[in-house]
Amino acid sequence: MANLWLDLGNTRLKYWLTDDIAQVIAHDAKQHLHAPAELLMGLTDRFAQLDPSFIGISSVLGEQINTQVAESLSSLSIPFEFVHVNATHPLMTSDYEPSQLGVDRWLQLLGAVDANKRQCVIGCGTAVTIDLVDHAHHLGGYIFPSIYLQREALFSGTKQISISNGTFDSIAQGISTADAVHRGILLSIVGAVNEVHQRHPNYEIIMTGGDAALLAQHIAQPIHIRDNLLLNGLIRFFNESL
């Protein structure tokens, strides 16, 4: 019995088809160019061919677009359900205000949570999120602009700094403006992670997201990079035994 898991992010639509033991048997990701409902309409035939018994959906796109998504999926006559943040979920409780916690961030935590551990879960996507989870209880966390958003903000907010060659490859001091910008931005995230670790030294550090490998190489503490935490969390939301 296969299930389809749909992740509607800010820029991409991703889906996974899993079998009855949650092994991925088909997957794809597409840029939706801010028109996810239209893209989804084009994918309904594909979803019908996959023939899942259920569709679970994570969406950060708001009620208006979610309504359009629901209308498209209704044509398939397959049961579907959107995930909503549940601060009293059997796998993980949270001190965070549920209406203020993004569903994608919450599912990342749910995908990583281990009731036997203290964990620091760092999401490295459009925003960098740092969250503390103490034996399956979410204590709260921090949100930062990603390294790329920080760079864009600096370049757009100043007249004397323009985009030039530079990479996020070191946290050593720079001897050119380009290096100083890139290394200063990188240091801001690395320094934040180090500070959180000093305050919570017994927490396992888990990183996920597109920039995880880039950031992890500059952090001295042991890092566990975990892919597809949102997928794992989406599955665990509906099946607590996994």
Which active-site residues does the annotation give? Answer: 104
Contacts of 63 (CB under 8 A, 6+ apart): none
For residue 58, count other CB atoms closer than 10 A to its CB.
23
d(C-alpha 204, C-alpha 198), whole Å? 12
- CB hemisphere CA count around 91 (13 angstroms): 22
d(C-alpha 142, C-alpha 132), whole Å? 9
* Helix segments in 3-136, DSSP class H: 36-50, 63-74, 103-112
- CB hemisphere CA count around 21 (13 angstroms): 0
Give backbone dihedrals phi and psi of 176, rounded to 5 degrees, phi first. Answer: -140, 160
Instruction: Assign 18 to helix, strand or coil.
Output: strand
For residue 17, count other CB atoms closer than 10 A to its CB.
19
State the residue for tokens 């017994």.
202
d(C-alpha 56, C-alpha 8), whole Å? 11
Contacts of 217 (CB under 8 A, 6+ apart): none
